[in-house]
Structure 1
Amino acid sequence: MSDLVRVRDAHLHNLRHVNVDFPRGKVVAFTGVSGSGKSSLAFGTVHGESQRRYLESVAPFARRLIGSAVDPQVEHIDGIPPTVALEQRTAAGGARSTVGTLTNLSNSIRLLFSRVGTHPDGLQLYSDSFSPNTAEGQCPRCHGAGYLMEPTESSMVPDPTLSIMDGAIASWPGAWQGKNFRDILAVLGVDVHAPWQDLPQDTRDWVLFTDETPVVTVTPERSPSQTQRTYQGQWMSAADHLKKSAANSKSEHTRARALKHMNRSTCPDCRGHRLTPEALRFRYLNRSIVGMTAMPLEDLRALLTDRAERAGDPTTPQEEAERILLPTVLPVLDAVTGLGLGHLSMDRQARTLSTGELQRLRLAALLRSGLFGVAYVLDEPSAGLHPSEKGILQDLFTDFIEQGNSVLIVEHDMSLVAQADWIVDVGPCAGEGGGEVLFSGPTDELESVGASQTARYLGAEKPQPTGPGDARAAAGELVITGASARTLQNVTVRVPLGTLTAITGRSGAGKTTLLTEVIGRALSENVRTTVNDDDPADAADPVGPDTDDSAPVLGGVTGADRVNRLVHITQKPIGRTPRSCLATYTGLFDRVRQLFAGTEEAKRRGWGVGRFSYNSPEGRCPDCSGVGQIEVELIFLPGSFTTCPTCHGQRYAPDTLDVQWNGLTIADVLALTVDDAVEVFAEDQRVARALRALQAIGLGYLRLGQSATELSGGEAQRIKLATELQRTARGRTVYLMDEPTTGLHPADVDLLVAELNRLVDAGATVIVVEHDMRVVAGCDHVIDLDAGRIVAEGTPAVVAASGTATGDCL
């Protein structure tokens, strides 16, 4: 049997019917510029075909229970082993997701407490009773949140000098509903024009907290052209309306707004521990489950290892349960601590973890699986790791290979690629300019391939770190003293304004905390304008089990008066549904729809800009509701999506497509790539400016109508940056970016850095958390962290001479 995997006629996405062979039992790196098709080959084709074959072996009735697999669109693959995939994800789950849930350690620890733990009254509980996410285990008062969100007078009425008519009750909705509440109060005799603070306390309490729901006849004030009609209005207190909105609204934005007008306090029943009183009284090894999950994993490993070594032959059911359960916990703890994560605790909230910590937790799950004869398909395993930590991955790959497996990595880190046994390089460019296999062979032979952009960077010399004489002169200084948040304790940070600054350090050192919780929080409280791309869903559930403990404490802040705008750009998706696309997010589609509405044909038909939105009932395809796809339900098979047979993926109703602008329909425009659209809209400055910004940052291969759900985290972050780049006023703006080079080929990194420097040259300040030493070497200033402390700072040349982990890598 051949030791090669042979792929024939792969044509998924932009792959151009490629054929490629690569060896089993080796580390194979798939490389190429962002969007070249390497992930389509490694994940969509190889892993997708492996999934398809596995599904064929599963009983038909069980296939519906397994997530849909991508159609690999390949003629044939020989020699393919079973595959296990680890795809790059920046999201870490909801507010209740923790290290324990990510690693499944929580399940085993709960079982230990339910089978072996003791209760003062001899009570026995099932394992679900030790989970705050189940009805059996969660505190009945706070429903397992650990905190209460309650409306108070100060949270609903932040400015008591205003009258009700002037908007004193800020928690009320706007538009008609808010006016309805004001009109009802006027009918009930409440003085809606007096300052809130001048109203009697009993009146204020009734308006905010009464349980009464009187119905009154309202005669609203309307303009003469409107219908004059009375209606029956039913009163609801401001607090009840707020609670109803927070609990029942299907709109994440509405729910987030409601929670914004509530005060958060620790639950008095469970004291923030989220569990029932009965569960909290159980003890195992003289610790409560709260105390055990709060231990650093390295200490928990030592405790349970000692217990396993001291245990004799079981003589009771409890001892037998312990003998069975401990071996399920210890391998996980061994893997996690072996990957340098012993400092974490099980109760650490997942969304507080760095990208590197998340990636290693997922790798730990693979390491403990003990599989043989499989191919591990890993998407950028180096993401979030400091260069000094990359040796962990090499050890991990060696373990996988020695266990009889193969390792396929989609990777941009050239130091990791250089150590692979084999390279499959895809390109030469992105999108329609890519999709070809330029090279498949031993790593040291890639340098002879002239068309490969990867070859230019593989083995390239390190750039010279910027010295004091080459760095930009600061336009002032932002100084934050006495900052404490998570691992950071009493830190003083200095950021030169008008420069490009990198925050560096090993994963978990506190870089993201410093960027977001310290610098971001200090500036957001002191500048006029803040642009933050936080997901509304996150804002709607803003706190988790350890948020109180990690809330930042800031001392003095000076220099913020020299900043008038803060922009925080993350790798969060630009939209959660296929309705959000590149054109809509950047705002250029508004102008495109204006152009179509301005055509003679649109005017003749009386159509405005709304007609050319695929979200409007009038203009969109009635069968797919403007999505361009329909879901196909298959009996005994996973559901899948297919192109809408009515509009053929164009999203619009046929009559909408009758209108053309410069020979193109609105669907034709959405099908254009950014590169093609630059020529089409060259005469329209508003659209052209947005397109040139996308093109400059290496996104010319994307289509204007490309769904947000199809974009990678790196692409999403660059789209956000491009949206900023098209704006003109950038002076005195601070940009915060967390690992902006994640997911980018070195060639794309060069484009990104050029644009970041352009921002700084225009007067802005750019602060990035970064692991790419090529980027760090070209910055003006570096803040290097280790274990929550600033261990070196200054120009890259100064940090390079500091002897720190980062300095040794520069």
Structure 2
Amino acid sequence: MPTAKASNATNGAAAPAALDVIRVRGARDHNLRDIDLELPRNQLIAFCGVSGSGKTTMAIDTLYAEGQRRYMESFSTYTRQFLDQLDKPDADVIEGLPPAVAVTQNQTSRSNRATVATATEIADHLRLLFARIGRVICSGCGQEVHRDSPESIARWLQDQPAGRRGMLAYPHETDSPTWREELVEAGFVRAIIGSHTYNLDDPSVRDLPTGGSVLVVVDRLTTPGTSEGRLTESIESALHHGADHCQLLLETDNASPAAGAADIDGRRWQVFRFGRSLHCGVCDLSYTEPSPQLFNFNSPLGACHECEGFGSIIETDMGLVVPDPTKSLRQGAVAPWNSPSYLHELEELIALAPDRGIPLDVPFAELAPQHLDVVLHGSPEHEFGGLDGFFRWLERRKYKMHLRVFLSRWRSYRACEACGGSRLKPDALAVRIGGKNLAEVCGQTAGAALNFLTSLPLSDTEQQVGQVMLNQVRARLEYLVEVGLAYLPLDRSLRTLSSGESQRVAMTSTLGSSLVDMLYVLDEPTAGLHHVDVKRLTGAIHRLRDRGNTVIVVDHEEDVIAGADQAVEFGPAAGVDGGRIVFQGPPARLCETPDSSTGDWLAGRRSMVPGGQRRAAENWVELTGASGNNLQEVDLRVPLGVLSVVTGVSGAGKSSLVLQTLYPALVASLGKENGRSADQSPLPYASLSGSAHIDNVVQVDQQAISRSPRSNPVTYIKAFDPIRAVFAEQPDAQTLGLTSGHFSFNVEGGRCETCQGAGRVEVDMQFLADITMRCRECDGRRYRPEVLGVKYRGRDISEVLEMSAQEAFRFFRGHKKVQQKLKVLLDVGLGYVPLGQPSSTLSGGEAQRLKLAGSLAGKQTGRSLFVMDEPTRGLHFSDIVRLIDCFDALLEVGHSLLVIEHNVQLILAADHVIDLGPGAAGEGGRIVATGTPEQVAKKPDSATGRSLAEALRKNAEAVRELDDE
């Protein structure tokens, strides 16, 4: 998910203290062409240009990286080793730089522990608020639990009705054989043992057995006649000897129902318990002292013991173990035992079945309880462990990755019964503010939580103590409401959010803060947002600028560029053909610049004008009764053989319907469930039909392809194999006996063993930050000298890896196998990417397009349905045209496309549109319009329809203007 990074840079000694511009001279990082740039401070500046033109390099790798570096320099060398540090930008001069904060595009958190509240820092401030002003309410009697002191106990006693006899005592354990002598030596005279009061020097006391507890009488009193000084002193003594606990027994005729009662010496006494700790005297329950960590489900101090703070427990799901109960045991009803590796388990069951009378040919659902017991729990006399023994065996060996994956396929989650899904210990849930505990506050939506905290009744002291925390929480909640996320529960897991929701949640800490005179760098903040949501977000960004901050936005959204104070376009193309400034100035003038690709699209000189015949559906896939998350019994019909686009405002249910219901349902229907984990089962639905019309379903998402720096585009699309074959065919290679394998940097043979083919080595600097430096042995070229000595057209294998896909395509002219593989990178708009760039450094949009390129290069056999989630993320208008051409190529060979998308340009190119809404969360979850883009544009109740109608109107005007010219 996008993550916020912060620095606190100063301007440096050489920079003027009051410089009103950010000045960059000679920037050369990545593909930047030694450019100079001056940016006015306290303005909103939009960086635009085609993908790979250098926008992010200037914004993140130059401006923000320098701000972070200056901040890091203020720390000691010991501290810096624990902090992530960006490389020093390659620039001659950077000055006028204010403290910097960046919100970048990173992988969405997959942890179940990450929630909306934790990601926005709302949880941190709420923990502190509850620890400081929360009130402990006893779970037994519902009364507030106080800490007692000698003075407060004395005052309570003084308020009791006059004339009541009482005894002040404390509990004492009698484990020691000399307990009586010890008490006498301490000066105590009496003790209550059982239902009688004894003098400690009474001989009968000596005959009492040790063990158990007695009440040692510290003082006898009458209310309220005992002097306050004596009473306070006696209470202090009782608390001291009673480990901060004491009891007051008051004589009465009728014991109050709210207090304990005891019969002593033939009289009735009320028993009141007091203590310095949080202890309920009525229920005799003790509570932990509130602290911020007590309310943290990621800490052992606060996490529920049962679920360890996850809120749910994973367990074996018989619905997954026996997916088809109509099958018999012999037919393979128990799915885990159908694998060749574990078929022996089924064979053992079949062998013992005659002895236990287990029918092997009746449906599993009809097995008698005693027969199910053998299948589940085993048969010790036959040394058969059953499913329980089988899964225990897997548990003991789950340190092996393949067994851990296999085990997860048969498990699902259920809410923790101990904490009710709240994740916290009972002591944390006992603390309340305004009648609600922390779990109840976080269980509310952002809008409801804002209303609750705004109207919170607090005393003057509580208001003074909690004001800072409340202000921080309210500011973040107000932002969530402002950008249309008022419906999100604060305890909602981040992994269940759509990309648009994740994007806005990630920006909450940044845009919801009150910092001024800062540099904010926002990398594609509108990614995943519907046109309606974009307008809300741009309003928040404008207010961030209005507070006196400099805001740099890297984005392709027309509304963001048009609403900026200044636009800077990088280009003119990507990779080696980019890295220069094409335009800088007011956005209105951008449309007048003839060499501006962005200006052409904004001015309407280029546009996506729908035309020609829409493709007709060959067949349909139908899903009925989808009801997961906010879906309201949705019936979905997906046409095959065409480009279908699912639209709707963020939170309308698109991801729930397509990615979490339809896709996993198709995977299961087509028998592709191998490797599926417990949390990848489809959300509830009634029926699925039409899957027989496709041979495969492929999800192309934006998850990182690999975390390994060894993975790169050329290996992912399998283009490196024919490239290595080309080098192996060279005469020098054959003379040296070098095969294709010697040109691989991932295996021994031809690679440099010092860096193991990585080209760089990491040096441990102990208390200093570790340094990654070029390998001295191979000079960063990955291979041994004899391998590098083999050249093709004057270039060695290392130089080929540094080429962009576009350059390599031209370089390998005449080699059809290589060019066919590389062409798919060009088709999806990744021609600027170096062949050897680590896949872990690609953005989410680039990763998704690389996956699409891999599917194209792999030549998917049969009829496949490609399911994609916002493939236009991070793409310029011109790049989207290439992507649509790539889609056309897939459709021409018989595949089908189902795309979740907000980009109007791509929606206009679709054959079929399925619009969800009309709003988000409870106001969405329904299909409000279907048909061609023109048909949906006529639906006034559809937010997408209104956007399409506006786009079609603009396109029509642009066409008329071109015709007039």
TM-score (norm 1): 0.85
Q: How does 1:514-533 map to 2 (within 5 A)?
A: 514-528=657-671
The change in CA–CA distance for 1:82 and 1:288 in structure 2 (over 3 A counts) is: closer
The structure with the largest alpha-carbon Rg is 2
In 2, are the aligned partners of 1:149 and 1:262 still within 8 Å (CA)? yes
**Cα pair 2:107 2:704 within 8 Å, conserved:** no
Q: Secondary structure at the match of 1:485?
A: coil
Pick from 465, 474, 480 the counterpart of residue 623 of structure 2: 480
Task: Describe the superposition over 1:561-587 as per-residue Cα deviations: whole angstroms up to 9, x where unpaired.
Answer: 212210110111111121111122112
- 1:599: how far off? 6.1
Alpha-carbon deviation of 1:293?
1.6
CA contact (8 A) 1:92 1:358 kept: no
CA offsets 1:327-381 (integer angstroms, 9 cap, x no match)? 3322222222122211001110101112221222232211232111112111112
- Residue 126 (structure 2) aligns with: 109
Deviation at 1:711, TM superposition (A): 1.2
* Equivalent residue number for residue 328 of structure 1: 472
- Paired position in structure 2 for 1:584: 715
What is residue 520 of structure 2 aligned with on the other side? 376
Relative distance call for 1:484 and 1:263 in structure 2 (3 A) is closer
Question: Do structure 1's residue 134 and structure 2's residue 319 form an aligned pair?
Answer: no
What is residue 807 of structure 1 aligned with on the other side?
A: 945
Match of 1:460 among 601, 604, 608: 604
1:463 CA drift (Å) = 5.5
Aligned with 2:65 (options 42, 48, 51)? 48
Whether the 8 Å contact between 2:645 and 2:913 is mirrored in structure 1 is yes
Check if 1:394 corresponds to 2:543: no
**Aligned residue among 643, 653, 666 for 1:500:** 643
Q: Distance in 2 between matches of 1:790 and 1:552?
A: 17
Deviations 1:739-789 (A, max 9, x none): 110101111011001111222233222111111111111211111112212
Match of 1:621 in 2: 752
Separation in structure 2 between the aligned mates of residue 207 and residue 559 of structure 1, nearest angstrom = 35
Distance 2:424 2:371 in 1: 38
Task: Summarize the Cα distance change of 1:665–1:207 in structure 2 as closer, same or farther, 3 Å threshold.
Answer: farther
Secondary structure in structure 2 of the residue aligned to 1:647 = coil
Distance 2:377 2:731 in 1: 57
**CA-to-aligned-CA distance 1:296-326 (integer Å, 9 cap, x gap):** 111111111111xx32322xxx676545543
Q: What is the 5 A alignment of 1:89-238?
A: 89-115=106-132, 116-120=134-138, 122=145, 123-124=287-288, 125-150=290-315, 170=336, 238=390
Find out whether 1:509 has 2:527 as its counterpart.
no
Q: Is the 8 A contact 1:339 1:364 kept in 2?
A: no
Contact 1:463-1:777 at 8 Å conserved across structures: no
Out of 87, 91, 94, the residue aligned to residue 74 of structure 1 is 91
CA change 1:734–1:207 in 2 (3 A) is: closer
Change (3 A) 1:465 1:497: farther
Task: Confirm or deny: 8 A CA contact 2:535 2:559 kept in the other structure.
Answer: no
Amino acid at match of 1:290: A
Match among 441, 445, 451 for residue 296 of structure 1: 445
Paired position in structure 2 for 1:227: none
Aligned pair partner of 1:312 in 459, 462, 466: 459
3-state DSSP of counterpart to 1:458? helix
Question: Residue type of the partner of 1:800?
Answer: A
- Residue 795 of structure 1 corresponds to which residue in structure 2? 932
One-letter amino acid of the counterpart of residue 25, structure 1: N
Work out whether residues 511 and 541 of structure 2, in 8 Å CA contact, stay in contact via their aligned partners in 1: no
Deviation at 1:805, TM superposition (A): 1.4
The one-character-per-residue Cα deviations of 1:657-688 (angstroms, maximum 9, x if unpaired) are 35556765432332332223224444444332
In structure 2, the residue matched to 1:215 is none
Superposed displacement of residue 601, structure 1: 6.4
Q: Which amino acid aligns with 2:448?
A: D
Note the residue ranges of structure 1 that are not aligned, 5 or more in a row. Answer: 213-235
C-alpha distance in 1 between matches for 2:495 and 2:115: 8
CA contact (8 A) 2:412 2:678 kept: no
Q: Distance in 1 between matches of 2:378 and 2:425?
A: 31
Cα distance between partner residues in 1 of 2:735 and 2:606: 63
C-alpha contact (below 8 Å) 1:466/1:797 kept by paired residues: no
Unaligned runs of 5+ in 2: 1-17, 140-144, 146-286, 359-369, 381-387, 918-923, 949-965
Structure 2 match to 1:733:
864
The equivalent of 2:486 in structure 1 is 342
2:205 corresponds to which residue?
A: none
SS in 1 for 2:404: helix
2:574 alignment partner in structure 1: 430
> Once the 2 structures are TM-superposed, how far is the Cα of residue 8 of structure 1 from its aligned partner?
0.5
* CA displacement at 1:431 relative to structure 2: 0.9
The residue aligned with 1:222 is none
**Corresponding letter in the other structure for 2:517:** G
- What's the secondary structure of 1:793's corresponding residue? strand
Cα distance in 2, alignment partners of residues 487 and 158 from structure 1: 26
1:21 aligns with 2:23: no
- Name 1:219's counterpart in structure 2: none
Q: CA offsets per residue over residues 217-240 of structure 1, 9 Å max, x none? A: xxxxxxxxxxxxxxxxxxx96434
Tell me: CA distance 1:596–1:192, structure 2 relative to 1, closer, same or farther (3 Å): farther
Alpha-carbon shift at residue 172 of structure 1 (Å): 11
Give how far 1:618 is off.
3.8
Query: Which AA in structure 2 matches 1:311?
Result: L
- Return the alpha-carbon distance in structure 1 between the equivalents of residues 542 and 300 of structure 2: 44
- With 611-620 and 478-487 compared, the bigger mean Cα shift is at 611-620
Q: 1:771 to 1:15 in 2, by over 3 A?
A: same
| Distance in structure 1 (CA, Å) of the matches to 2:624 and 2:49 | 44
Kept in 2: contact 1:149–1:259 (CA 8 A): no
Correspondence for 2:961: none
Q: Give the aligned CA root-mean-square deviation in angstroms.
A: 3.6
Q: Identify the match of residue 561 of structure 1 among 674, 692, 706.
A: 692
State TM-score, norm by structure 2: 0.72
For 1:444 and 1:57, locate their aligned partners in 2 and report how far apart those are by CA, in whole Å.
42
Identity across aligned pairs (percent)? 35
Task: Please name the residue that 1:695 is paired with.
Answer: 826
Query: What is the aligned counterpart of 1:710 among 841, 845, 849?
Result: 841
Cα distance between partner residues in 1 of 2:635 and 2:434? 41
Corresponding residue of 2:588: 444
Q: Relative to structure 1, is the Cα distance of residues 198 and 600 closer, same or farther in structure 2, using a 3 angstrom cutoff?
A: farther
Equivalent position to 2:394, from 242, 266, 270 = 242
State how far apart, in whole Å, the 2-side matches of 1:62 and 1:53 are.
14
Residue matched to 1:365 = 509
Distance 1:604 1:56, change over 3 A: same
Deviations 1:473-525 (A, max 9, x none): 11122221111111112111122222111111111111121221222133222
Higher RCO, 1 vs 2 (CA within 8 Å, ≥6 residues apart)? 1
Q: Distance in 2 between matches of 1:477 and 1:590?
A: 38
SS of equivalent residue, structure 1 residue 392: helix
Per-residue CA shift, 1:598-639, capped at 9, x if unaligned? 667667766655443322244432222222222244466543
Q: Is contact 1:690-1:726 (8 Å) kept?
A: yes
The answer (yes or no) to whether the contact 2:646–2:901 under 8 Å persists in 1 is yes
CA distance in 2, matches of 1:79, 1:453: 30
Deviation at 1:41, TM superposition (A): 1.0
Is the 8 Å Cα contact of residues 703 and 847 (structure 2) preserved in structure 1? yes
2:678 is the alignment partner of 1:678: no
1:39, CA displacement in angstroms?
A: 0.9
**Contact 2:845 2:873 survives alignment (8 Å):** yes
Residue number among 29, 38, 61 corresponding to 2:55 in the alignment: 38
Call closer, same or farther: CA 1:9–1:344 in 2, change over 3 Å. same
Change (3 A) 1:17 1:196: farther
